[in-house]
Amino acid sequence: MSTTANTTDARSSRDKAPAGERVADWADGRLGIYGLAKANMRKIFPDHWSFMLGEVCLYSFIIIILTGVYLTLFFHPSMNEVEYHGSYIPLQGQLMSEAFNSTMHISFDVRGGLLIRQIHHWAALIFLAGMFVHMMRVFFTGAFRKPREVNWVFGFLLFVLGMFTGFTGYSLPDDLLSGTGVRFMEGAVLSVPVVGTYLSFFLFGGEFPGGDFVARFYSVHVLLLPGIMLGLLVAHLILVFYHKHTQFAGPGKTNNNVVGMPLLPVYMAKAGGFFFLVFGVIAAIAAIASINPIWTMGPYRPDQVSTGAQPDWYMGFSEGLIRVMPGWEINAWGHTLVLGVFIPLIIFPLVLVAIAVYPFIESWVTGDKREHHILDRPRNVPTRTAFGVAWITWYMVLLIGGGNDLWATHFHLSINAITWFVRIAFFVAPVLAFIATKRICLGLQRRDHDKVLHGRESGIIKRLPHGEFIEVHEPLSQEALHTLTAHEQYEPAAIGATVDENGVERKVKGPEKLRAKLSKSYYGEDGQIAKPTAEEYKEITSGHGHH
Amino acid sequence: MSSQDIPEENLPAERATDQHAHGAVGVADEKDPFADPGLPPHEHRVQDIDERAAKRSERAVAFMFTLSMLATVGFIASYVGIPHDKAVYVFPIGHINALNFALGMTLGVALFAIGAGAVHWARTLMSDEELIAERHEIAAPPEVKAQVLADFKQGAKESAIGRRKLVRNTMFGALALFPLSGVVLLRDLGPLPGTKLRHTLWSKGKLLVNMNTNEPLRPSDVVVGSLTFAKPEGLEEDDHEFQTEIAKAALMIVRIQPDNIKDKRELEWSHEGIVAYSKICTHVGCPISLYEQQTHHVLCPCHQSTFDLSDGARVIFGPAGHALPQLRIGVNDEGYLEALGDFEEPVGPAFWERG
């Protein structure tokens, strides 16, 4: 009968199907994998070197988790004092916390332990550096525009959480250098008005350093922060898939399509292979370049310190803030307002937030509600690019401040002079960088403009019959013409009519005025060079032929 | 302030939709010289045309993968064979741990070769023809939105949350209150500060013990130009509270010619020109440890706050906000330096209750 026939049919087809297909059928019946694969298996990804920066972050994060799990197998997050009896002779018999002792054990007595520790730390530095550069790529190409603003915020949070995961991580070995960093953090917490001492006592379980912070930092470092980051990272990647990747303008590439190669097989191989490349390079770095050699610093003692004390690079800008700030203190009514420490503590998040909120400011200025999938060339958005460069300059000035002692010793400069330089540059350098960048962008736009209208400089010098020398310009291909003129140019938003049809005057509010002003600086005459029109092109090319 | 009030004409026109079909070769458009010529035609690589070149690529990829296998064997061999304390000279790095170097390099090669092989495979042997996928707007079409809104309203109406305000408000109240339990639970993270930051182990009669020799100091032990670190008598390194106590009590002692001491109180609190100051920086608490003999300046190596020890340890440069606290010292009957009391003000970084 029909049912029997059906079952035999199904059985026979199952027998015939290859094993892989049968497994896939089993999974599909329970997880619906075919639907998922249909959408994603041949998903198209565009190719550009700068799209690898985010991959570097992803892969170094995976490397950090893998090596981090290994390290937890040997690390003891305890501040109990023990005497050292490991194989590193110079520290024999010294008192140290179990945290330091177990890190020494990992470094000297576990085979490969030092390598994994160094991979873990190097990968963390590369993770943060990767996120920084990836964020800059997204910023300068305008990839943060609608619909990707939320993903920008996810990425930003990953960067900030990465900084604190790094800080809690390098504080765990309880060595002299990291302990000094924790002490700095305690001093900063103490400066908070009204509740500072309470926060500090709750954080450290009493007075600094107490016996708790390593264990507390440990759970924050291995569970709380990475857990949140893993969630954000998955959300970040889901959105990348969902939005599809951005691409640069070019022949055949529009705002409505994605041009590139399929995930299977090309990006499986390229991106999958890239994981191994990143891991391989980090392993090789860890083999030859020592990082955080805690045995040369020794265990932490609150009454000892060494010169050249520096945080990991991503915390350097906060170090700069704290170093160059004048020591203002206000004492009144039996209380102390420690402005010299508290102001840097407030500016620290503001430096980061300044770049994080930028996409929302720009979308407010443009009022543009459309989706953008074609990337901007930085030169074509001079004000954004100038803002980004000003921000980087600000950040770098603070990094110089954070390493003022190293600048002084390595370049034989006066530390007082460097500190004063940073104090002034903190305010002046971003402005100068902004102006210079904007001018450079406009210059590059003019060059593109000329290139489109007059062609490319061929380098061939021709002597005309009457003796004049000219350089031969070659006209651009249509691909190049299209690529150089594909960008959009906004008009500055004007303030709408202030008198309506009935002659009633409308009040122009502050925000509206501000937006008109900003819009003018973005897209007015000083903000961009009008791109060549087809008419201009035709007039020049038909008028007097080629130059 | 929404952006609706920007006139439409200020927005750039919608980008010209791609009328040019994919693959159309760039012919100069009579009308618009800047028009999108469409995707350029696919150009074949040498591997696509020449099977020998493809074979070469295949061998190169296989070589990479084989290299990776060999490197993994090398990793295991290094792990087993190299003693963990052996040093090896590697140009130009110098002497480094042999095991770490061998493990790292073999692991690095094993991983890198897999990556290089896969990437080479993708670049030379897999199809490199560019494909086009269409995008679809993220926002839902109006009818979907209308359906969702209608569903939501229906659901909200059925729950009666808008009508039965008592239910709604008490629910909000309950949801807002219960996290307080979590906040309260954090209370025992630490004791209350009290006046703990105001007191150190120093008190009248406590001897100044040399940090290095663990012996009580006599005035003759402190010579002009030297910098001595001291701890209070009775505090030993293996004490349970050593770290916390030394974080406040650490002392630095220098001898200055009494004539050179500019601050009157400093001179009074000194003994024959020997002055004792808190070693903990008043900025954020680093131990100060750089002493300039001639000028009597001390510098904190963390953030470069500089204090003048001959003038009440006032701040002469850097981010510190106030002078280092001085400990009043004298000499006991047996000729040892002793404290004449605790610090009169809190040591270390400033805080709200400091005053």
Domain ranges of chain A: 54-376, 378-489+528-547
CB pairs under 8 A between A and B: 401
User: A364 to chain B: nearest residue by CA?
Assistant: B3
B15/A530: higher pLDDT: A530
Q: Does residue B8 have a pLDDT over 50?
A: no
Q: Does residue A536 have a pLDDT over 80?
A: yes
Angstrom distances, CA of residue A228 to CA of A68, A123, A150, A232, A235 = 16, 19, 16, 6, 11
Beta-strand runs (E) in chain B: 87-90, 94-97, 131-134, 208-210, 227-232, 251-255, 274-278, 290-292, 297-299, 306-308, 314-317, 326-327, 329-331, 337-339
Cα B32 from chain centroid?
54
Specify the pLDDT at position A537: 85
A457 to chain B, closest Cα gap in Å? 19
The model carries a pTM of: 0.90
Please check whether residue B254 is in contact with residue B296, taking contact to mean a CB–CB distance below 8 angstroms.
Answer: yes
Average pLDDT score over residue span A252-276: 93
CB contacts of A87 in chain B (<8 Å) are 84-85
Q: Does B235 touch chain A (CB under 8 A)?
A: no
**Matching residue, tokens 């005035």:** B219
Enumerate residues 40 to 69 of chain B having a beta carbon within 8 A of any beta carbon in chain A. Answer: 40
Euclidean distance between the first and final Cα of chain A, in Å? 86
CB contacts of B190 in chain A (<8 Å) are 201-206, 210, 212
Question: How buried is A196 (Cβ within 10 angstroms: 0-12 exposed, 13-18 middle, 19+ buried)?
Answer: buried
Task: State the best of A120, A207, A500 to mutate against chain B, taking most chain B CBs within 10 Å.
Answer: A207
Q: Does residue B19 have a pLDDT over 70?
A: no
Which of A198, A416, A494 is closest, CB to CB, to B193? A198
Cα–Cα distance, A165 to A127 (Å, whole number): 11
CB contacts of B18 in chain A (<8 Å) are 252, 254, 256-257
**Which of the four pLDDT bands, split at 50, 70 and 90, describes residue A11?**
low
Report the half-sphere exposure of B354 (CA within 13 A, side-chain side).
26
> B192-219: per-residue pLDDT in tens?
998 899 999 999 989 999 998 999 999 9
Please check whether residue A385 is in contact with residue A395, taking contact to mean a CB–CB distance below 8 angstroms.
Answer: no
Q: Does B186 touch chain A (CB under 8 A)?
A: yes
Question: How buried is A100 (Cβ within 10 angstroms: 0-12 exposed, 13-18 middle, 19+ buried)?
Answer: buried
Specify the pLDDT at position A141: 95
Q: Does A449 touch chain B (CB under 8 A)?
A: no
Q: A419 and B99: CB-CB below 8 Å?
A: no
Q: A482 and B279: CB-CB below 8 Å?
A: no
Q: A301 and B319: CB-CB below 8 Å?
A: no
Q: Does B105 touch chain A (CB under 8 A)?
A: yes
Beta strand B290-292 with B329-331: parallel, antiparallel or unpaired?
unpaired
Q: Which two tokens stand for residue B300?
A: 């904190």
Lowest mean pLDDT among A286-300, A303-317, A488-502: A488-502
B55 to chain A, closest Cα gap in Å? 18
Q: Which two tokens stand for residue B264?
A: 């009157």
Other beta carbons within 10 Å of A222? 21
User: B23 to chain A: nearest residue by CA?
Assistant: A252
Q: If we measure between CA atoms, which residue out of B285, B320, B321, B293 comes closest to residue B309?
A: B293
Other beta carbons within 10 Å of B174? 9
Which of A279, A305, A419 is closest, CB to CB, to B302? A305
Q: Does residue A509 have a pLDDT over 90?
A: no
**Which of the four pLDDT bands, split at 50, 70 and 90, describes residue A15?**
low
Cα–Cα distance, A335 to A333 (Å, whole number): 6
Specify the pLDDT at position A544: 53
Please check whether residue A162 is in contact with residue A85, taking contact to mean a CB–CB distance below 8 angstroms.
Answer: no
Which of B127, B192, B290 is closest, CB to CB, to A201? B192
Q: Is the dihedral of CA B6, B11, B13, B18 positive or negative?
A: negative
Specify the pLDDT at position A239: 95
Please check whether residue B104 is in contact with residue B88, taking contact to mean a CB–CB distance below 8 angstroms.
Answer: no
Q: Kindly give the residue spans of alpha helices, DSSP state H, lying in A32-74.
A: 33-40, 52-72
Which of A44, A95, A489 is closest, CB to CB, to B238? A95
Q: B104 and A284: CB-CB below 8 Å?
A: yes
Angle at CA A458, nearest 5°, toward A455 and A461? 120
Q: Which amino acid is at B64?
A: M
The reply to whether omega before A265 is within 30° of 0 (cis) is yes
Q: Does A542 touch chain B (CB under 8 A)?
A: no
Question: What 3-state DSSP class applies to B229?
Answer: strand
Cα–Cα distance, B322 to B304 (Å, whole number): 14
Beta strand A374-375 with A247-248: parallel, antiparallel or unpaired?
parallel
Beta-strand runs (E) in A432-510: 456-463, 469-474
B27 to chain A, closest Cα gap in Å? 7
Specify the pLDDT at position B23: 38
Specify the pLDDT at position B20: 40
> B84-106: per-residue pLDDT in tens?
888 899 888 888 999 999 999 99
Angstrom distances, CA of residue A128 to CA of A53, A158, B313 = 11, 9, 40
Specify the pLDDT at position A13: 53
Q: A251 and B38: CB-CB below 8 Å?
A: yes
Task: State the best of B95, B100, B305 to mutate against chain A, taking most chain A CBs within 10 Å.
Answer: B100
Cα–Cα distance, A385 to A367 (Å, whole number): 19
Beta strand A456-463 with A44-45: parallel, antiparallel or unpaired?
unpaired
CB contacts of A243 in chain B (<8 Å) are 138
The reply to whether omega before B92 is within 30° of 0 (cis) is yes
Report the half-sphere exposure of B239 (CA within 13 A, side-chain side).
14
Specify the pLDDT at position B102: 95
**Which of the four pLDDT bands, split at 50, 70 and 90, describes residue A12?**
low
Q: B246 and A303: CB-CB below 8 Å?
A: yes
**Which of the four pLDDT bands, split at 50, 70 and 90, describes residue A494?**
confident
Angstrom distances, CA of residue A495 to CA of A519, B2, B94 = 10, 14, 68
Enumerate residues 314 to 373 of chain A having a beta carbon within 8 A of any beta carbon in chain B. Answer: 322-329, 331, 334-338, 340-341, 363-364, 366-371, 373
Q: Does B309 touch chain A (CB under 8 A)?
A: no
Angstrom distances, CA of residue B24 to CA of A145, A196, A477, B20, B130 = 30, 68, 14, 7, 14
Angstrom distances, CA of residue B335 to CA of A262, B71, B208, B218, B271 = 86, 70, 12, 6, 12
**Matching residue, tokens 């060339």:** A377
Report the half-sphere exposure of A387 (CA within 13 A, side-chain side).
20
CB contacts of A204 in chain B (<8 Å) are 190
Please check whether residue A157 is in contact with residue A356, taking contact to mean a CB–CB distance below 8 angstroms.
Answer: no
Which of A194, A307, A373 is closest, CB to CB, to B352? A194
Q: Which amino acid is at B75?
A: F
Q: Does A109 touch chain B (CB under 8 A)?
A: yes
Class of CATH domain A54-376: mainly alpha
Q: If we measure between CA atoms, which residue out of A420, A397, A418 comes closest to residue A409?
A: A418
Q: If we measure between CA atoms, which residue out of A56, A127, A115, A52 comes closest to residue A278?
A: A56
Q: Does A112 touch chain B (CB under 8 A)?
A: yes
Lowest mean pLDDT among A332-346, A489-503, B136-150, B237-251: A489-503
Phi, psi (rounded to 5 degrees) for A309: -70, 120
Structure ipTM: 0.89
Q: Kindly give the residue spans of alpha helices, DSSP state H, lying in B14-97.
A: 46-49, 51-81
B62 to chain A, closest Cα gap in Å? 14
Q: Is the dihedral of CA A362, A365, A369, A375 positive or negative?
A: negative
Cα–Cα distance, A252 to A268 (Å, whole number): 24
Q: B112 and A284: CB-CB below 8 Å?
A: yes
**Which of the four pLDDT bands, split at 50, 70 and 90, describes residue A9?**
low
Q: Does residue B10 have a pLDDT over 50?
A: no
Please check whether residue A323 is in contact with residue A404, taking contact to mean a CB–CB distance below 8 angstroms.
Answer: yes
Q: A341 and B107: CB-CB below 8 Å?
A: no
Q: Which two tokens stand for residue B41?
A: 């035609």
Q: B108 and A284: CB-CB below 8 Å?
A: yes
Please check whether residue B112 is in contact with residue A276, taking contact to mean a CB–CB distance below 8 angstroms.
Answer: yes
A20 to chain B, closest Cα gap in Å? 22
The reply to whether omega before A311 is within 30° of 0 (cis) is no
Q: Does A24 touch chain B (CB under 8 A)?
A: no
Which of B10, B113, B135 is closest, CB to CB, to A491? B10
Specify the pLDDT at position A155: 96
Q: Does B246 touch chain A (CB under 8 A)?
A: yes
Which of A43, A112, A197 is closest, CB to CB, to B353? A197
Q: B301 and A112: CB-CB below 8 Å?
A: no
Q: Does residue A533 have a pLDDT over 90?
A: no
Enumerate residues 146 to 185 of chain B having a beta carbon within 8 A of any beta carbon in chain A. Answer: none
Q: A534 and B131: CB-CB below 8 Å?
A: no
Phi, psi (rounded to 5 degrees) for B315: -75, 125
